[in-house]
Structure 1
């Protein structure tokens, strides 16, 4: 990068550095404002700035000011809130690439940085990946400043802390960590801070890429950090003592530490009555277990354990499989692979075409497979239930992980029956028990068992029973509402 020379003023060195770059950057503009005894240079990238702000807040005040200006007085003339100074060439170029205008003179000791960037982000819209029936529908955008405004609008707590980092050696990306000072555990904050600072990489494209660089285990299928595009979910997590991380140019926010059960929670559970919210959470957990175990159980029973099938069902099951030439394990793997093909094709096609592709493709391929004798109609039903179960998870990442781990379970069930299936399931359970997120147990509050936190994860209880914050997050302030006042008012 550029190095300033001690014998020349900083403004002269900066001018030489920018003149050296102008041949390779056609959108770099060096505009000169010449007055009676002074000549100011304004450097900016014309595609990244707000041209109206440039003319009204920088050029016009400098041209109309009658007296000569010192470096200190320039900051009083330019009527922009985001002003700073720098004596580093690298820092000036970095701000320039982020949409700032650099104001300096040849004999200046430092340069004035005016943030007049125009990021060109989209307007606030409805969330696409996390659909809700009740509650706010607004979602984050690709602008980190706009996302931080949404967080502050939801959490107007004076103890809300924001720490800013720059990650990336070549393409620097702004990263902001948000937490409530008297709620977040200091150890979680320090771990987040240390892992973000220790990242050495050319660039970070998205928050999901950042999670892969700071997670505890890089080889597991299970996500260790929750990512969301809903501001209200971030606010609820911050009030529970968690930490949020925003990445510039990314529409999702990282929440940590995140446990296995938190991936099945939805903010809609809070907006519904407590009994309905509890029912929906239990339905999701049951659906996930069905999605993991139903198809392997079918393969194990059909291959090795006919005796557990009721006699009334055994006849119809034998008739449906009488024309199928393949073993059950191959039949199940084939259908699972077809379901994944339909899902991936529907996700990559345009929205309306993708929905039609998924529905029509599933019906046509399923019906044709049964009539051609490639599979049985009972397995079609089981595969459909398993696929629906994986889609009930509010988090797309955990649903994808469930679909992936189904394949080794099917293989083990086809090779060793129920024994192989249970061996694979126990191996999966041991893996989850050893997994951590920010050094915290991944299966908390189930392991280590904390019964008082089950009302925030597995169940939803009435608000008079939610006087304490979740112990799992180790909040500094454990109390939410005094219990005596709750009982008296109730």
Structure 2
């Protein structure tokens, strides 16, 4: 099909039925799936055209054709819109809009010599049923995930966010394959500047097609060169509603089960809605464990390489003896030994993810044991390094967000190289570079390391740990919501027995 562009000659109506039929066949290159049928009544001709498998056949037969052919009324746009019992009818006068509408399941009726065609939205969409999200596992709380259906996702969002201020702005993005995109926020909470920034980025985006929300994300984020994700992505409606109710802005894309949330911070990627469903002290412990795990995942193996290569004095003597014995048969320097083992772990992880679930789990467990044992016996690596690499791999899995876990895995490799070449000085240099890089990053124009930089003390109990619920009376100041207070803190402390 040809690419549609609006021109001065885009409005081709009125014209003869034969002319319109010829133009449709030319534009769609004689597509066999394009149904073009001419009907006649009282010297009036009507052309009905649509793509066969994309419309609901029962509605076409029972509502459209039965009313059009069996009822006695004059054929023109106004009477057809009044007589046919379909609520989605409207007139379209641009041929480019008709071409795009056919591709998304619209049906068109054109009465000869009328100034416009009638459009009916009768799309026959195939949707998978609601099921548990596979990429974000939770123990407590709702487990249902988004689907590829825009209608289903909007319905879920309406059920989870029952606010009269909920706004769902509609955008159509894509020149060749238009996709519906929704900008979602609560009008009385979301910062107006953030809404305008997000809206502007969507409106100014010119692209042929958006394959998924993750692709859209890469076009509208603040920096496309960094490895750190700047917008949060989720498949869980409860996590999406949690962020929207805190004053953030969300985006969902047609045919994508992943929602986008912004602005976000580096620390948001270690938060989970599960923290809310547990007691505050348990939630704080788990959140702190995730922060520690991310640090260990990026620094543990590089620290081993730096210590074994340059700094034996920091290793305890009993461990140093065992380490020397285990490395006696290893022919490679520590940096090469660590890189080989890390690559093997990444190969096992990637192959396990791509294989069917049951086979992937078996490959991951058996492959890890077999490869690790064989590597030690063959003298390729030491058993001490296997422990460090295994701990680093486990630590990277604790991040609730897959993108941040992947970031930790990738950062580990340059850190190993720095530790192997420059020792602890190289590690300090690498960590300093990461901190400076994070300080320069923004998400929708907001500082990426907030509330740590700039310092916002009031947000510490929401970003790094949790206090009892009565202390969470304020929303994140870092996002600058219109309404900063969630509830009255004074009244929340009042507790009365039933006999009072």
Bucket of the pairwise TM-score, normalised by the shorter protein? over 0.9
Q: Which among 445, 448, 454 is matched to residue 448 of structure 1?
A: 454
Name the structure 1 match of 2:54: 48
Q: Which among 349, 365, 368 is matched to residue 362 of structure 1?
A: 368
Name the structure 1 match of 2:385: 379
Give the conservation status (yes or no) of the 8 Å contact 2:269–2:401. Answer: yes
Name the structure 1 match of 2:166: 160
CA distance in structure 2 between the partners assigned to 1:32 and 1:6 by the alignment = 21
Question: Which has the larger displacement, 72-81 or 170-179?
Answer: 72-81
C-alpha deviations, 1:398-455, integer Å up to 9, x for none? 1111110111110010011001111011001100010111111111111111121122
TM-score by length of 2: 0.95
Name the structure 1 match of 2:233: 227
Tell me how large the CA RMSD over aligned residues is: 1.7
Give the conservation status (yes or no) of the 8 Å contact 1:15–1:106. Answer: no
Displacement of 1:6: 7.3
Displacement of 1:162: 1.1
CA separation of 1:193 and 1:10: change in aligned 2, threshold 3 A: farther
CA distance in structure 2 between the partners assigned to 1:6 and 1:292 by the alignment = 60
Displacement of 1:70: 2.9
C-alpha deviations, 1:86-114, integer Å up to 9, x for none? 11111111111100111121122211211
CA distance in structure 1 between the partners assigned to 2:145 and 2:10 by the alignment = 48
Name the structure 1 match of 2:204: 198
Displacement of 1:11: 7.1
CA separation of 1:276 and 1:220: change in aligned 2, threshold 3 A: same
SS in 2 for 1:137: coil
Give the conservation status (yes or no) of the 8 Å contact 2:48–2:110. Answer: yes
Name the structure 2 match of 1:171: 177
Question: Which has the larger displacement, 466-475 or 374-383?
Answer: 466-475
SS in 2 for 1:52: helix
Instruction: Please list every run of 5 or more consecutive structure 1 residues that lacks an aligned counterpart in the other structure.
Output: none
CA separation of 1:210 and 1:10: change in aligned 2, threshold 3 A: farther
* Residue 480 (structure 2) pairs with residue 487 (structure 1): no
Give the conservation status (yes or no) of the 8 Å contact 2:290–2:398. Answer: yes
CA distance in structure 2 between the partners assigned to 1:10 and 1:441 by the alignment = 57
CA distance in structure 2 between the partners assigned to 1:32 and 1:59 by the alignment = 12
* Residue 79 (structure 2) pairs with residue 60 (structure 1): no
* Residue 460 (structure 2) pairs with residue 466 (structure 1): no
Displacement of 1:468: 1.1
Give the conservation status (yes or no) of the 8 Å contact 2:11–2:95. Answer: no
What are the residue-to-residue correspondences of 1:107-146 with 2, within 5 Å? 107-146=113-152
Q: Which among 94, 103, 107 is matched to residue 101 of structure 1?
A: 107
Aligned length: 490
CA distance in structure 2 between the partners assigned to 1:368 and 1:326 by the alignment = 16
Q: Which among 316, 321, 331 is matched to residue 325 of structure 1?
A: 331
Give the conservation status (yes or no) of the 8 Å contact 1:139–1:231. Answer: yes
Give the conservation status (yes or no) of the 8 Å contact 2:297–2:395. Answer: yes
Q: Which among 400, 403, 406 is matched to residue 406 of structure 2?
A: 400
Displacement of 1:179: 0.6
CA distance in structure 2 between the partners assigned to 1:417 and 1:22 by the alignment = 64
CA distance in structure 2 between the partners assigned to 1:413 and 1:82 by the alignment = 65
CA distance in structure 2 between the partners assigned to 1:84 and 1:340 by the alignment = 55
CA separation of 1:10 and 1:435: change in aligned 2, threshold 3 A: farther
* Residue 31 (structure 2) pairs with residue 31 (structure 1): no
Displacement of 1:192: 0.7
* Residue 352 (structure 2) pairs with residue 346 (structure 1): yes
CA distance in structure 1 between the partners assigned to 2:491 and 2:83 by the alignment = 55
What are the residue-to-residue correspondences of 1:150-299 with 2, within 5 Å? 150-299=156-305
Name the structure 1 match of 2:310: 304
Displacement of 1:68: 1.1
CA separation of 1:30 and 1:282: change in aligned 2, threshold 3 A: same
SS in 2 for 1:364: helix
Instruction: Please list every run of 5 or more consecutive structure 2 residues that lacks an aligned counterpart in the other structure.
Output: none
C-alpha deviations, 1:285-310, integer Å up to 9, x for none? 11111101111111111111111111
Name the structure 2 match of 1:478: 484
CA separation of 1:422 and 1:5: change in aligned 2, threshold 3 A: closer
CA separation of 1:6 and 1:372: change in aligned 2, threshold 3 A: closer
CA distance in structure 2 between the partners assigned to 1:7 and 1:174 by the alignment = 26
TM-score by length of 1: 0.96
SS in 2 for 1:295: helix
Displacement of 1:373: 0.9
C-alpha deviations, 1:196-250, integer Å up to 9, x for none? 1111221110001001101111111111111111111111110011111111111
Give the conservation status (yes or no) of the 8 Å contact 1:176–1:246. Answer: yes
CA distance in structure 1 between the partners assigned to 2:184 and 2:89 by the alignment = 23
Name the structure 1 match of 2:76: 70
Give the conservation status (yes or no) of the 8 Å contact 1:11–1:105. Answer: no
* Residue 395 (structure 2) pairs with residue 389 (structure 1): yes
Q: Which among 433, 453, 465 is matched to residue 439 of structure 2?
A: 433
Give the conservation status (yes or no) of the 8 Å contact 1:33–1:62. Answer: no
* Residue 425 (structure 2) pairs with residue 419 (structure 1): yes
CA distance in structure 1 between the partners assigned to 2:214 and 2:384 by the alignment = 38
Name the structure 2 match of 1:9: 14
Name the structure 1 match of 2:343: 337
CA separation of 1:224 and 1:22: change in aligned 2, threshold 3 A: closer
Q: Which among 147, 153, 159 is matched to residue 153 of structure 2?
A: 147
C-alpha deviations, 1:267-324, integer Å up to 9, x for none? 1111112111111111111111110111111111111111111112221111111111
Question: Which has the larger displacement, 252-261 or 56-65?
Answer: 56-65
CA distance in structure 2 between the partners assigned to 1:420 and 1:195 by the alignment = 39
